């Protein structure tokens, strides 16, 4: 591994909390090497790129926005896809280049009033470089991005201490986004494995990543993740608070919570899940549930409320929390601590009471111009999904909805990436802005690298299916390009245009590995005689020949319309 330099003359990782209060984006003093005593990323596996693809930057308006360009055969034009993988080839010790540092510094220099949120700028009519970057990525006008942010219908998570992030937007009028959860637990995983999962998740298309670490080295793990993340990072700060009080929820205090928020905000976390809607009065509503309270954060806050018999301090001190959020531009992801953990509990009184409170808190956050999205369930059967979105949109005034799944049935442990992707596609179609992935390990164990990929791919499918159903402009272009390649038996193009080219090619190779098979007009599924696409090709050729013959016959007969009859036309 080379030492420190990332080739842009800015080799230091933007170190951890440095206590300086000016909001500067590069005030960190410690490199990632200094953060860890040993080298946690010494043996990271290389992340291979996609076949027939290159990362190119679309230069527009003084900005360079990444896309993945897929090269096709047969004279077809290259196809560009949205790319979340971030700058490649950087030493993880050095972290990624700080793309946003000059933009942030310029804003802090010129007219900083202490509120650094993109919503605050948007409400003052300003269009930031982050908004312009997003506009190019989403192929919309920058004014549209600004107006959606100002209205609270979208968020652009972009902590001023995470200058490595490439701006992205979450809102129902943009492409549906997906989140991948990573993070170690007290039982398993290392920092290196988590950095590897981060790079792996963004390769496959995760738009944001949540670091849900709960074990030892929580701060250090987060530092490595943030410095190497091109996408916004979310956390659930109450987890670290709980570590700090030895795992005893009743010892939590608002001061400890605020201190932890500042620690994480200084590191660059872009959004915080905060379970401020778990009110004391709602906890009894969960008493007769099949699966009680299944959110970790929700159960921690419920225990605190009951042991003190007091209102949730995250609710009563919410404005103090807003002060931290706006200073760094950390977005709220208002947690659904009382979400249903089984289809039996879906849309019950506890869930909907909390949602109402989240609507009330959205107003408070917006009073401070703090960007806000709302978390949603969980486990919901298909016929109850639409109601979730309608209620959330009404109660939370169109603030972006961010849902976990939902799983539409409880009977398939080991396959919950599928049970939940079904619900995710539906809820995305109805207007959910971001879908939190579920992996095959859900309910069973900490996901490994393979599970992360399976979860991301399942959710890319769900999000894209939702974009198609919503009629999002241009969403069908990739489907059309792939279908055309499929129909023309351009096998390699079909693989290259797919979400997971490796698996598509491996499956084809399983029965037809010879290079010549990649030009064959059939595959092993139906075989050469029963290939319906080949037969269609032949049918079309016959039809075309038949039409040509008929035309020639017509000409030969003197090109008269009604041969052998008087022409009585008028």
Identity of the residue, 510 or 553, whose beta carbon is nearer to ligand SF4 in the bound complex: 510
Distance (Å, rounded) from C-alpha 260 to C-alpha 243? Answer: 11
Tell me how far, at minimum, the Cβ of 508 lies from ligand SF4, in Å.
Answer: 9
Task: For residue 330, give every residue at least 6 positions away whose Cβ sits within 8 Å of its Cβ, in sequence order, or none.
Answer: 157, 159, 261, 265, 269, 270, 271, 272, 324
Radius of gyration of the CA atoms of the chain, in A = 27
Query: Partners of 170 in the beta sheet?
Result: 155
Choice from 245, 526, 542, 543 touching ligand SF4 (CB under 6 A)? 526
Show the DSSP H helices in 477-568 as ranges: 477-487, 491-497, 501-511, 527-530, 532-556
* Minimum gap (Å) between residue 465 Cβ and ligand SF4: 21
Instruction: Find the shortest distance in angstroms from Cβ 480 to ligand SF4.
Output: 17
Nearer to ligand SF4, 530 or 554 (CB): 530
Least distance between ligand SF4 and beta carbon 167 (Å):
41
126 vs 523, which CB is nearer to ligand SF4? 523
Phi, psi of 384 (to 5 degrees): -110, 5
Q: Which is nearer to ligand SF4, 78 or 526 (CB)?
A: 526
Pick from 52, 101, 108, 533 the residue near ligand SF4 by CB under 6 A: 533
With CB under 6 A, what is the number of residues at the site for ligand SF4? 8
Helical residues (DSSP H) of 185-253, grouped into ranges: 191-204, 218-227, 237-244
**Residues 310/388, Cβ–Cβ less than 8 Å:** no
* Closest residue by Cα to residue 462 from 435, 488, 431, 498: 435
The stretch among 9-17, 146-154, 333-341, 520-528 that binds ligand SF4 (CB under 6 A) is 520-528
Q: Are 348 and 285 in contact (CB under 8 A)?
A: yes
Contact flags string 534-553 toward ligand SF4, x per CB under 6 A: x-------------------
How far apart (Å, rounded) are the C-alpha atoms in residues 237 and 373?
A: 16
Q: Which of 61, 532, 542, 560 binds ligand SF4 (CB under 6 A)?
A: 532
Q: Measured in whole angstroms, how far is the alpha carbon of residue 129 from the centre of its chain? A: 21
**Using CB atoms within 10 A of its CB, is residue 106 exposed (0-12), middle (13-18) or buried (19+)?**
exposed
Confirm or reject binding of residue 485 to ligand SF4 (CB under 6 A): no
Contacts (CB under 6 A) with ligand SF4, residues 171-210: none
- Smallest separation (angstroms) from ligand SF4 to the CB of 519: 12
Task: Examine residue 531 and tell whether it contacts ligand SF4 (CB under 6 A).
Answer: yes
- Report in angstroms how near the CB of residue 418 gets to ligand SF4 at its nearest: 22
Interface residue with ligand SF4, options 411, 525, 561, 563 (CB under 6 A)? 525
Q: Site for ligand SF4 (CB under 6 A): which residue of 50, 401, 430, 522?
A: 522
- In whole angstroms, the minimum distance from the beta carbon of 70 to ligand SF4 comes to 21
Q: Would you count residue 511 as binding ligand SF4 (CB under 6 A)?
A: no
Judge residue 214's burial from the number of C-beta atoms within 10 Å of its C-beta, 0-12 exposed, 13-18 middle, 19 or more buried: middle
Smallest separation, CB 536 to ligand SF4 (Å): 9
Q: Report the nearest approach of ligand SF4 to the CB of residue 525 (Å).
A: 4
Q: Which is nearer to ligand SF4, 153 or 518 (CB)?
A: 518
The helix/strand/coil state of 258 is helix
Distances (CA, A) of 497 to 87, 215, 434, 504: 21, 39, 23, 10
Interface residues with ligand SF4 (CB under 6 A) are 522-523, 525-526, 531-534
């Amino acid at each position: 591994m080379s030492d420190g330099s990332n080739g842009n003359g800015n080799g230091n990782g933007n170190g951890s909390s440095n206590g300086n209060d000016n909001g500067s984006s590069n005030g960190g003093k410690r490199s990632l090497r200094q953060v860890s005593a040993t080298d946690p990323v010494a043996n990271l596996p290389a992340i291979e790129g996609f076949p027939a693809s290159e990362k190119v930057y679309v230069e527009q308006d003084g900005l360079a926005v990444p896309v993945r360009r897929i090269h096709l055969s047969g004279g077809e034009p290259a196809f560009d896809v949205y790319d979340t993988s971030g700058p490649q080839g950087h030493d993880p010790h050095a972290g990624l280049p700080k793309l946003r540092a000059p933009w942030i510094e310029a804003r802090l220099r010129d007219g900083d009033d202490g509120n650094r949120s993109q919503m605050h700028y948007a409400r003052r009519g300003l269009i930031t470089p982050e908004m312009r970057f997003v506009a190019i990525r989403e192929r919309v006008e920058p004014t549209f991005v600004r107006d959606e942010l100002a209205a609270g219908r979208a968020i652009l998570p972009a902590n001023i201490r995470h200058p490595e992030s490439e701006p992205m937007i979450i809102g129902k009028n943009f492409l549906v986004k997906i989140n991948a959860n990573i993070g170690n637990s007290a039982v398993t995983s290392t920092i290196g494995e988590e950095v590897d999962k981060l790079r792996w998740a963004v390769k496959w298309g995760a738009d944001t990543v949540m670091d849900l670490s709960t074990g030892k080295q929580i701060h250090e793990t987060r530092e490595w993740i943030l410095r190497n993340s091109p996408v916004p990072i979310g956390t659930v700060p109450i987890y670290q608070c709980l570590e700090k009080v030895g795992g005893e929820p009743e010892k939590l205090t608002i001061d400890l919570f605020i201190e932890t928020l500042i620690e994480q905000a200084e590191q660059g976390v872009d959004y915080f899940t905060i379970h401020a809607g778990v009110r004391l009065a709602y906890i009894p509503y969960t008493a007769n549930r099949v699966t009680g309270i299944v959110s970790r954060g929700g159960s921690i806050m419920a225990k605190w409320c009951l042991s003190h018999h007091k209102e949730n301090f995250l609710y009563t001190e919410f404005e103090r929390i807003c002060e931290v959020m706006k200073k760094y531009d950390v977005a709220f992801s208002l947690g659904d601590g009382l979400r249903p953990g089984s289809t039996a509990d879906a849309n019950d009184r506890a869930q909907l009471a909390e949602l109402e409170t989240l609507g009330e808190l959205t107003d408070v956050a917006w009073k401070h111009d703090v960007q806000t999205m709302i978390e949603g369930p969980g486990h919901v059967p298909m016929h109850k999904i639409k109601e979730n979105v309608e209620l959330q949109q009404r109660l939370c005034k169109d603030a972006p909805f961010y849902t976990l799944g939902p799983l539409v049935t409880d009977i398939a442990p080991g396959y919950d990436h599928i049970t939940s992707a079904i619900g995710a596609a539906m809820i995305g179609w109805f207007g959910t802005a971001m879908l939190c992935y579920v992996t095959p390990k859900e309910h069973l164990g900490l996901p490994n690298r393979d599970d992360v990929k399976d979860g991301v791919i399942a959710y890319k499918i769900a999000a894209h299916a939702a974009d198609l159903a919503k009629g999002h402009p241009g969403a069908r272009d990739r489907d059309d390009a792939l279908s055309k390649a499929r129909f023309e038996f351009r096998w390699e193009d079909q693989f290259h245009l797919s979400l997971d080219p490796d698996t598509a090619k491996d499956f084809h190779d399983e029965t037809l590995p010879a290079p010549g098979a990649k030009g064959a007009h059939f595959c092993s599924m139906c075989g050469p005689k029963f290939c319906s696409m080949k037969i269609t090709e032949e049918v079309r050729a016959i039809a075309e020949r038949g039409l040509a013959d008929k035309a020639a016959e017509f000409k030969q007969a003197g090109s008269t319309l009604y041969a052998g009859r008087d022409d009585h036309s008028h």
